[in-house]
Amino acid sequence: MAAQTLTAGTRRRVLFGLLDAESWSWASLKAFFWFIVIIFMLGYIPDRAYYFTVFPTIDLGLLAWSPVNLCPASNETLPCPAPEGAVLPWQPSPSQVALPQPRTDGAAVVAGTKLIYIGGSQTAGGAATTTTYVANLYPDGNFSSWTEGPALPSAVKNESAAFLGGSVYVFGGTDASGQPTKTAYVLTIDPATGQLGQWQSAADAKLPIDLPAPRTAAAIAVASDGLVIVGGDGGSGPVADVWKSTIDKGGKLTAWAPQASLFRPQSHAIASIIGSYIWVYAGQDANGPVGAVQRGDIAPASDPHPGSIVRWGIKNGPPNLPVARTGATGFMANDALYLVGGSDGKTPRGEVFWATPNIAGEIAGWEHVPASDFPAMGLAGSSAVVDGSQAFLIGGTTSGGVTGSSARGNLAPQPPFFQLGLVGATVPALKLSGEIGQQLGYLNAAGAGTIDFVILILIGYAFAHRDQTRAFFARFRRRG
């Protein structure tokens, strides 16, 4: 027995002698390796083939952290890669598309393919106007020169305006005598022709939407089921009132219903709704410009009063703006809150801040990139609108006075066209747009998958017929 043990052959070792060639460990490792190879060849490569056709860039491998980044020139002076939510440097519009007259403290809305600027004043602190200007929006992110549209029944500035259900609504504001008003006006767009009608008072439109009390410089937010008016000035200072008008089954706005009051009175603020929360930021209170951000909770569908605003609060720290601003303009895009310009109480400022609340309604902090700031003259009293990936700032007051010009900022900076990471890279791709690009992408994916499938069959055949495979390669080498 001892002699037999000493003369028995040793078993073959693999992987630098770490594993037995006949062990389950080595078999499992080989099975996992081929599983990854099959997924890579039949899943990853066809996927990359499709996106190589339709995307401007594709990632190869796991990019992880990238020390080498090259961005397109269209990103101008933004960092590379651009921070998420950054705005491309603002581009002033040519003089041909400036408002016919300077305007500040008016309201701009996007109504289908129309861009409408309503009311405002011609000088800082000046009298309100009845003028409405209209421009056509183009798919390429530009708009036409302005023409004069239907005049408001009465002059107004610092009003709250919104587009909802095919109509433009204007609420409150400061009238020609300098006093807050509670009047509401409606402008309906013909759905067949896209032509504007005439402004009607709420009474003439048979809508119970005059405000419960006079308000100017109130924030307005569009909800899924109506409109919300937040804060404002009642004539003796900022107020905390919040009202909501919901849409009935006939698609018409109903009378305003009181909601939970703001945590603190605030006017000249910006209001936006994201998910189950409404955000109110910037503006002023009795002491001047504020930086505090107020968040309101919206009742869920299971609540007896779904969609109502049930409470407001302010948190210390990062959720609040890093600076106090009033008279700023702002908007919501891609689930992010934006603030542009405003006044620090002394002069117009040009900083742009943005924040992206998470699903729990928490803000980790406000982002700021100097390249996204408005030019050095600053801007307050402007009105911002968003059309696709473009944001427009219309009118306002700069350090040089009231302006009728506008500026455009692109909200979609391009990603780097080349990145080199530790375990991967991003490389340029074809970016064939439209349905043709998609069909070619599908063909490329199918072709890559078919080729890889044939290669796997050949590999399987070679492993199953090792002697014949060795003989074939031996003959090939001899012929070579």
Model pLDDT for residues 384-417, shown as the tens digit of each residue? 999 999 999 999 999 999 999 999 999 999 999 9
What average pLDDT does the segment 71-81 reach? 95
Write out pLDDT tens, residues 84-143.
999 999 999 999 999 999 999 999 999 999 999 999 999 999 999 999 999 999 988 899
Based on its alpha-carbon atoms, the radius of gyration of the chain, rounded to whole angstroms, reads: 31
In whole angstroms, what is the distance from residue 209 CA to residue 224 CA? 18
Q: Indicate if the pLDDT at residue 2 is higher than 60.
A: no
When pLDDT is cut at 50, 70 and 90, the band that residue 61 belongs to is: confident
Q: Indicate if the pLDDT at residue 1 is higher than 50.
A: no
Q: Indicate if the pLDDT at residue 4 is higher than 60.
A: no
Q: Angle at which helices 466-479 and 434-464 pack, to 10 degrees?
A: 100
Name which of 344, 324, 331 is nearest 273 in CA terms. Answer: 331
Q: How far is CA 377 from the centre of its chain?
A: 26
What average pLDDT does the segment 169-192 reach? 95
In whole angstroms, what is the distance from residue 446 CA to residue 218 CA? 56
Report the SS3 class of residue 119: coil
This prediction's pTM? 0.85
In whole angstroms, what is the distance from residue 391 CA to residue 141 CA? 9
Query: Which pLDDT value is given to residue 326?
Result: 97
Query: Which pLDDT value is given to residue 10?
Result: 67
Q: Are 183 and 210 in contact (CB under 8 A)?
A: yes
Query: Which pLDDT value is given to residue 7?
Result: 45
Position with higher pLDDT, 261 vs 139: 261
Q: Is 418 left (phi over 0), alpha (psi -120 to 50) or beta?
A: beta
Query: Which pLDDT value is given to residue 9?
Result: 54
End-to-end CA distance of the chain: 52
Write out pLDDT tens, residues 365-376.
999 999 999 987
Query: Which pLDDT value is given to residue 155?
Result: 97
Position with higher pLDDT, 352 vs 16: 352
Name which of 329, 397, 394 is nearest 122 in CA terms. Answer: 397
Write out pLDDT tens, residues 161-175.
999 999 999 999 999
Query: Which pLDDT value is given to residue 212?
Result: 98
In whole angstroms, what is the distance from residue 36 CA to residue 425 CA? 20
What average pLDDT does the segment 57-77 reach? 91
DSSP state at residue 436? H
Write out pLDDT tens, residues 295-322.
999 999 999 999 999 999 999 999 999 9
**Rounded mean pLDDT of the chain?**
93
**What percent of the chain clears pLDDT 90, i.e. is strictly above it?**
85
